[in-house]
Chain A
Amino acid sequence: MNQENMLEIRGLNKYFGPTHANKNLNFSVKKGEIKGLIGENGSGKSTLISQIAGLYPSDSGEILLDGKPYTPRSPIDANELGISIVMQELGVIGSLPAGVNVFLGRTRQFTKNGVVSLKALNKAAADVFEKWELPKVPLNKLTDGMMIETRKIIELARALSVEPRLLLLDEITQSLSMNNRNKLYELINKLKSMGCSVIVITHDVEELIRITDTITVLRDGEVVGDVVSANTTPDEIKHMMVGREISGEYYRADMVPDYGDDIVLSVSDLTVPGEIEDVTFDVHEREILGFCGLSDSGIHTVGKAVYGLLKPSRGRVRLNTRDLTVKSASQALQNSMAYVPKDRDNEALMIHASIHDNFVLPSLTELQAGVGYLAPGKLRKLAQEMTDKLSVKCTDIYQAMDALSGGNKQKVNLGRWLAKDIKLLILDCPTRGVDVGVKAYIYSLMKEAKKNGVATILISDELTEVLGMSDRLIVMKDGRIADVIGRDEDFTEQSVIRVMI
């Protein structure tokens, strides 16, 4: 083992159910090094540092801290060894004051006769703020009313109060204003000069190159690059993040946009505060309109808003085939629209109900006979036909969804809509967490729908997928449309990545 390395990770694996989030990772951090970590959504970055921080255990592989095996059972263990983390999701308790949040879980040290001296606690907290030159925060106030930036600073103070030798920062710069960001950079350098190390995760490639010594790039759970910051360029990093081999005929064979003239859906000035702004586009008959962007680009919000699940503050979604403005999901359902959500288990499917129940739910209106009668035979027939057609691997249609594999669940997720006569299909990450065989099958279903006249909105985190399947591609960034590219133009990763990140 390299003597310089404070932290060394070999062959790390982590699974979440069928998802292989970290694949045989090798990763190391030297003493006094500022290490950048970057990757697309789903690349495994947060998973990696969560394991370092002791939030959950690894499945296999080893982690060495100063040459000794490191297996923290909880974040407290990690703290004791000098490792602390500022998490991506908000980690303060709103109903407690700021000062308490800094020392929450470690209040014993301020306790005399069972009573916590808030005065001593707040003084210690103030000391931390002063030592690290953090902007002052009113320590007595509940964090509930505070801005996101302030809350992040409190979390930072908490992480620093542990006197860390290794500080993990997961996407905190995006919540900070310009001058606080500069203060953060100074803080990071101060840690470096003290011989401590920092791992920084951020989406801002330029920032990463500027403030770090080395950068590790992750993609699909694997390390695809380990570079010295001074020697690399933003383009090189971006390319490593998203570049993939496009294999086979799995996507479309043609490189020409192919869609009808009739406009099925017109979206104008769609705005959802805090998520998307002034989004305007049309979808044509037989078109596959792709949407891509980073996690906060707003692409997923567009899907929800078009289906009527979110109320826009401004703008309109107009379904031209029925000449109506879509205002609610139940309207969308009744007018031949379909929505396949990204979160399969929590938003898309009734996980404890049967395959049968999930298949028939969107079609109940159409399956009615007179007086609203839903013949069990008819429902059974639909469920059985779809199960057979899509080759859903199960014991029978009455099996519960949670027994199925991700790929088969996705077949039900998508298939229940294809059982209907739909005009507009909205797909959000349709091949996420699904094996190659099922992926190819889903693409073939999309091509078939296209032939049958269905207009499709394809929202995806996977660049190669949208490039492979779309007639036109809308790239979004920070809630706005950054570019619209046609299939016959420069339909390559380069042109997209440049705008996307």
Chain B
Amino acid sequence: MKKLRITLQDVVPFAAFIVIFLFFTIMSKGRMLSAFNLSILLDQSVMTIVVGCGALFVVAQGSIDLSVGVNLALTSVIATWAANAWGDWLLIPVALIVGTLVGIFSGIVVSRFKVPSFMLTIAMLIGIRGIVNFIQSFIHTQAIPKSMGILSAPYIKYPAFVIIIIALGYVFEFTKVGKYCKAIGENETTARYVGVPVSLMKVVAFAICGLTVGFGALFSLSSNGGTSQQIGLFFEMRVAMAVFLGGVLVTGGTSAKLYKVLLGSFSITIIVNGLSLIGLSQTQYSQSIQGLLLLLILGVTILASKKIGKSAAPADDEEIAGHSEDQTAKA
């Protein structure tokens, strides 16, 4: 029987969730809990959770994908245009393919060219947003084909969501792919020395993330009926918040677990939703709170992981002497 090891690191995100939930429930005088609002909450979480679960593979390795927002936008625009131009049914495959391709590109640059993932994906954030704006400057917003509107029907959307999450969860927790990603996050050198195909795994993780962006695009297109000037704006931060608020460390590794994405997604959705319920819907409120919360949670989880002796970086005096057991062997 597996003993449940509860550490500070695990407790803080749960505690944060409860505090956030209670706070907004009270402040909104219970409106948070109305059936109507709960269904809105669920709806708003769907995209975040799906892409969050994809991003989990990347974060588990210790990397990050900040281009998911623009990827979503690009994928939506291209898929809608393809569906309208060449055939309604193309919406789904094109969305999935474009999203995945962008992911593969990121994965290759990170693994083969050794560009840090945050820098690469931020560069893509800027670059691809530029491309999307360019395309939209003459295509403008488009509506998805009528027949594809059926994707937003609850009896299609929710089962699809559940199936996707289960599939991702399965791959992450019960197959080699997930385990290898976590190993890379724990210690990339160790993974390499065992014989884990590290470069391939990096590409795979980014590709999976891109694939979930494709799904996210479909969810977004179906609920909005088409594209807009605003698609994907700030979405990457939403996904990042979902992952980190749930308690996944920036270094990933075994701290990366699927349930944390669910927890974090609900936390962030409640915050944004709750703020608008109490009349503070302008972005500056949600953004400042998100910024502060992110710093807080990251700081605390990193600190908590160090207390248990789980520090990634060696202490300063070990660095100077350069000593580890290895060094003394050279003496």
In-complex A–B contact (CB below 8 Å): yes
Which residue of chain B is the closest to A403 with respect to CB atoms?
B309
- Interface 9-mer from A14-22, A174-182, A209-217: A14-22
A232 partner residues in chain B, CB cutoff 8 A: none
- Interface 9-mer from A146-154, A156-164, A356-364, A484-492: A356-364
**Is A432 interfacial (CB 8 A cutoff)?**
yes
Give the CA-CA distance A372 to B175 in the complex, in Å.
Answer: 6
B254 partner residues in chain A, CB cutoff 8 A: 352-354, 357
Chain A 369-389 against B: per-residue CB contact (8 Å), 1 yes, 0 no?
Answer: 000111110001000000000
**Is A347 interfacial (CB 8 A cutoff)?**
yes
Give the CA-CA distance A352 to B251 in the complex, in Å.
Answer: 12
A433 contacts B175, CB within 8 Å?
no
Within B180-234, the residues touching A (CB, 8 Å) are: 180, 182-183, 186-187, 189-197, 200
- Interface 9-mer from A64-72, A281-289, A338-346: A338-346
Which residue of chain A is the closest to B321 with respect to CB atoms?
A56
A332 partner residues in chain B, CB cutoff 8 A: 195
Give the CA-CA distance A39 to B331 in the complex, in Å.
Answer: 8
B180 partner residues in chain A, CB cutoff 8 A: 364
A347 contacts B193, CB within 8 Å?
yes
Give the CA-CA distance A348 to B186 in the complex, in Å.
Answer: 12
A50 partner residues in chain B, CB cutoff 8 A: 321
Which residue of chain A is the closest to B308 with respect to CB atoms?
A400
Within A21-54, the residues touching B (CB, 8 Å) are: 21, 39, 41-48, 50
A433 partner residues in chain B, CB cutoff 8 A: 325
B194 partner residues in chain A, CB cutoff 8 A: 329, 333, 339, 361-362
A346 contacts B310, CB within 8 Å?
no
A141 to chain B, nearest CB (A): 26
- Given the known interface contacts A330-B197, A374-B174, the answer about A89 and B189 at a Cβ–Cβ threshold of 8 Å is no
A41 contacts B324, CB within 8 Å?
no
B192 contacts A346, CB within 8 Å?
no
Give the CA-CA distance A398 to B322 in the complex, in Å.
Answer: 30
**Is B328 interfacial (CB 8 A cutoff)?**
yes
Chain B 310-331 against A: per-residue CB contact (8 Å), 1 yes, 0 no?
Answer: 1010000100111111111111
Give the CA-CA distance A344 to B326 in the complex, in Å.
Answer: 8
B212 to chain A, nearest CB (A): 19
B180 to chain A, nearest CB (A): 8
Which residue of chain B is the closest to A368 with respect to CB atoms?
B176
Give the CA-CA distance A159 to B329 in the complex, in Å.
Answer: 25
Give the CA-CA distance A113 to B310 in the complex, in Å.
Answer: 46
A360 partner residues in chain B, CB cutoff 8 A: 179
B179 partner residues in chain A, CB cutoff 8 A: 357, 360-361, 364, 374
- B183's partner among A89, A307, A350, A398 (CB-CB below 8 A) is A350
Give the CA-CA distance A48 to B321 in the complex, in Å.
Answer: 12
Give the CA-CA distance A344 to B328 in the complex, in Å.
Answer: 13
A334 partner residues in chain B, CB cutoff 8 A: 195
Which residue of chain B is the closest to A308 with respect to CB atoms?
B195
Give the CA-CA distance A328 to B325 in the complex, in Å.
Answer: 27
A351 partner residues in chain B, CB cutoff 8 A: 187
Chain A 432-456 against B: per-residue CB contact (8 Å), 1 yes, 0 no?
Answer: 1100000000000000000000000
- B189's partner among A333, A346, A406, A432 (CB-CB below 8 A) is A346
Give the CA-CA distance A20 to B13 in the complex, in Å.
Answer: 42
B-binding residues in A (CB < 8 A): 16-17, 19, 21, 39, 41-48, 50, 55-56, 88-89, 295, 307-309, 328-334, 339, 341-354, 357, 360-362, 364-365, 368, 372-376, 380, 396, 398, 400, 402-403, 406, 429, 432-433, 461
B325 contacts A16, CB within 8 Å?
yes
Which residue of chain B is the closest to A47 with respect to CB atoms?
B331
Q: Ordered nearest first, which 5 A-B pairs have the shortest CB separation?
A: A333-B195, A46-B331, A350-B186, A42-B329, A329-B195
Which residue of chain A is the closest to B192 with respect to CB atoms?
A329
- A309's partner among B193, B308, B317 (CB-CB below 8 A) is B193
B331 contacts A350, CB within 8 Å?
no
Give the CA-CA distance A329 to B3 in the complex, in Å.
Answer: 34
**Is B5 interfacial (CB 8 A cutoff)?**
yes
A21 contacts B5, CB within 8 Å?
no
Q: Which of A43, A295, A345 has the most CB of B within 10 A?
A: A345
A349 contacts B190, CB within 8 Å?
yes
Which residue of chain B is the closest to A406 with respect to CB atoms?
B325
Which residue of chain B is the closest to A395 with respect to CB atoms?
B3
**Is B114 interfacial (CB 8 A cutoff)?**
no
A398 contacts B175, CB within 8 Å?
no
Q: Chain B interface mostly helix, strand, loop or mixed?
A: helix
B325 to chain A, nearest CB (A): 5
**Is B253 interfacial (CB 8 A cutoff)?**
yes
Give the CA-CA distance A431 to B180 in the complex, in Å.
Answer: 28
Give the CA-CA distance A330 to B323 in the complex, in Å.
Answer: 30
**Is B146 interfacial (CB 8 A cutoff)?**
no
Which residue of chain A is the closest to B312 with respect to CB atoms?
A352
B196 to chain A, nearest CB (A): 7
Which residue of chain A is the closest to B5 with respect to CB atoms?
A398
A55 partner residues in chain B, CB cutoff 8 A: 320-321
Additional A-B contacts beyond A309-B193, A357-B182 (6; CB < 8 A):
A56-B320, A56-B323, A88-B330, A345-B325, A347-B189, A350-B253
Q: Which of A343, A350, A406 has the most CB of B within 10 A?
A: A350
Give the CA-CA distance A21 to B327 in the complex, in Å.
Answer: 10
Give the CA-CA distance A373 to B187 in the complex, in Å.
Answer: 24
B253 contacts A352, CB within 8 Å?
yes
B93 to chain A, nearest CB (A): 23
21 A-B pairs with C-beta separation under 8 A: A16-B325, A19-B328, A21-B328, A42-B330, A46-B327, A55-B320, A56-B320, A56-B321, A328-B197, A342-B326, A342-B329, A346-B189, A346-B326, A348-B190, A350-B186, A353-B182, A353-B253, A357-B182, A364-B176, A365-B176, A433-B325
- Given the known interface contacts A329-B192, A330-B197, A351-B187, the answer about A44 and B325 at a Cβ–Cβ threshold of 8 Å is no
Give the CA-CA distance A307 to B309 in the complex, in Å.
Answer: 32
A461 partner residues in chain B, CB cutoff 8 A: 329
B283 to chain A, nearest CB (A): 38
B320 partner residues in chain A, CB cutoff 8 A: 55-56
A344 contacts B325, CB within 8 Å?
yes
A398 contacts B329, CB within 8 Å?
no
A49 to chain B, nearest CB (A): 9
- A45's partner among B183, B191, B192, B331 (CB-CB below 8 A) is B331
Give the CA-CA distance A19 to B330 in the complex, in Å.
Answer: 13
Which residue of chain B is the closest to A331 with respect to CB atoms?
B195
- Given the known interface contacts A333-B195, A432-B329, the answer about A352 and B310 at a Cβ–Cβ threshold of 8 Å is yes
Give the CA-CA distance A349 to B253 in the complex, in Å.
Answer: 13
B111 to chain A, nearest CB (A): 14
A362 contacts B195, CB within 8 Å?
yes
A47 contacts B183, CB within 8 Å?
no
Within B1-15, the residues touching A (CB, 8 Å) are: 2-3, 5
A357 partner residues in chain B, CB cutoff 8 A: 179, 182-183, 186, 254
B60 to chain A, nearest CB (A): 12
Give the CA-CA distance A403 to B5 in the complex, in Å.
Answer: 15
Give the CA-CA distance A98 to B163 in the complex, in Å.
Answer: 63
- Given the known interface contacts A372-B175, A380-B2, the answer about A348 and B253 at a Cβ–Cβ threshold of 8 Å is no
B183 contacts A361, CB within 8 Å?
yes
Give the CA-CA distance A44 to B327 in the complex, in Å.
Answer: 10
A25 to chain B, nearest CB (A): 12
Give the CA-CA distance A67 to B309 in the complex, in Å.
Answer: 41
Give the CA-CA distance A396 to B331 in the complex, in Å.
Answer: 36
